[in-house]
Amino acid sequence: MKISDIFGPNIDAITNQKKTQKNTQHQSIKIEDTKNKNAPQDTVNISQTAKALSNLADFEANHQKRLEAVQKAYDNGAYKPDLTNLAKNILEEIKNE
């Protein structure tokens, strides 16, 4: 005697449907796992990024102030630029930052 003899001919369809649903769920989980594995592994720490941007902004502001001071002194005739040494100093300072 078979189960289908007791429950009727639709039992096979119901049983197969449950198997199909289980397989579909397992496939969905596998797809999600694959998506997570394919996600970029290197993440950026937001606080480190903010600190770096802040340092860059401070660096730019300091150089802008220096440039304005040099321009003002040059316009007044109080500053005769030694461009070679000025360029060397700026490059050295950038290298040390």
> 88 is in which domain, residue-wise?
55-96
On whether both 32 and 60 belong to a single domain, the answer is no
- In this predicted structure, the answer to whether residue 14 has a pLDDT above a threshold of 80 is no
Contact 75, 67 (CB under 8 A): no
The pLDDT value given to residue 91: 92
- In this predicted structure, the answer to whether residue 96 has a pLDDT above a threshold of 60 is yes
On whether both 92 and 64 belong to a single domain, the answer is yes
The pLDDT value given to residue 79: 79
Number of domains composing the chain:
2
pLDDT per residue as tens digits for the range 19-70 = 555 555 555 566 555 555 555 656 667 888 888 889 999 999 999 999 898 8
**Can you read off the two tokens belonging to residue 86?**
């000025």
Across 70-86, average pLDDT? 85
Tell me if 17 is assigned to some domain. yes
Return the residue matching tokens 């002194």: 73
Across 1-12, average pLDDT? 56
Tell me if 44 is assigned to some domain. no
Of 87, 93, 96, give the one whose Cα is nearest residue 62: 93
